[in-house]
Amino acid sequence: MKSYKKRKQIKNVLMAIIAAILFVIMMFPLYWMITTSFKDERTVFASPPQLFPLQPTIQAYVEQFTSPMFNIFQGLKNSVIISFFAMILSVVLSIPAAYGMARFRLKGKKFILLLFMVSQMLPQIATLVPNFIIFQKISIYNTYLAPIFADATLGIPFCILMLRTYFLSVPKEIDEAARIDGCNSLQSFTRVVLPMCSGGVAVSFVFSFLFAYSDLVYALTYINESTKWPVTVGIYNAIGRYGTAWSQAMAFGTIVAAPIIILFIFMQKYIVEGLTAGSVKG
């Protein structure tokens, strides 16, 4: 018995050490980006490299916020607008679709699910030209609607595939019990089943927002006015004809990543619970 407990303790310690090592490896690029943003260009390529800036400066941030080439505040506003409405569109359409795929017998359901998975594997560039033609035909090119619809095509398949597992984990007997209590199909879904899958809905909101917020290709293709560009387009300000201003690029990356980092800090509980709870059934 003692040897078993000792082996279990050793295993837990080893797992904790491995987890700590993996955490450091995964977080080091983020740490390096933030620390590099507080260095000047000469210090960025110092040898040996400085793991922490000995003479920190905020000049890179000042140049980002005062740059006449790109208004970063307007870019953040555009990103929030595009990401918010793409998120709403993705989740609102995905919830009933995922529920239908989980609850009802549909012909070709496996093929439809396969198409959703394949759509997740397609590169964005594969859909640029077809979407471009469609958006021009319906007169939404160079408007917020174009990247919103395009970004929704990224979020909808992911949300459907994930939410379907949540609805599958809810027993059908719960629907039947709700109907015995006087609910119709819609009421049992909205009042009983959907609240039980709130974790999955929260995860869908977060990831569909992230898909749209991190987009660059769609925004550059479907919007040609700089005042409507999202903040991700501003990275080109740090890339010159003769080289890259790395401290400015890292400062820009830190500014852009800050909202997402804050979002994940506050939503980590729901994200972890949602991702683990939705993996019960497939």
Count of the separate structural domains present in the chain: 1
Residue-wise pLDDT for 70-109, tens only, equals: 888 899 999 999 999 999 999 999 999 998 888 888 787 8
User: Does residue 122 lie within any of the structural domains?
Assistant: yes
User: Does residue 17 lie within any of the structural domains?
Assistant: no
Q: Quick one: pLDDT at residue 281?
A: 46
User: Does residue 45 lie within any of the structural domains?
Assistant: no
Q: Quick one: pLDDT at residue 107?
A: 82
Residue-wise pLDDT for 222-268, tens only, equals: 998 888 989 888 777 666 655 677 888 888 889 888 888 888 888 77
Residue 1 has pLDDT above 60, yes or no: no
Residue 276 has pLDDT above 70, yes or no: no
Residue-wise pLDDT for 203-212, tens only, equals: 889 889 999 9
Q: How far apart are CA 94 and CA 181, in angstroms?
A: 27
The pair of three-digit structure tokens given for residue 23, joined into one six-digit string: 């955490």
Q: How far apart are CA 50 and CA 43, in angstroms?
A: 8
CA-based torsion, 127, 130, 135, 138: positive or negative: negative
CATH number of the CATH domain containing 160: 1.10.3720.10
Domain encompassing residue 188: 70-231+259-277
User: Does residue 241 lie within any of the structural domains?
Assistant: no
User: Does residue 109 lie within any of the structural domains?
Assistant: yes
Please report the DSSP string for 114-147 in residue order.
HHHHHHHHS-GGGGHHHHHHHHHHTT-TTSTHHH
User: Does residue 46 lie within any of the structural domains?
Assistant: no
Enumerate the β-bridge partners of residue 8: none
Q: How far apart are CA 146 and CA 135, in angstroms?
A: 6
User: Does residue 58 lie within any of the structural domains?
Assistant: no
Closest by CA position to 222, among listed 144, 126, 117: 144
User: Does residue 141 lie within any of the structural domains?
Assistant: yes
Question: What is the average pLDDT value for the chain, to the nearest integer?
Answer: 84
Q: Quick one: pLDDT at residue 282?
A: 46
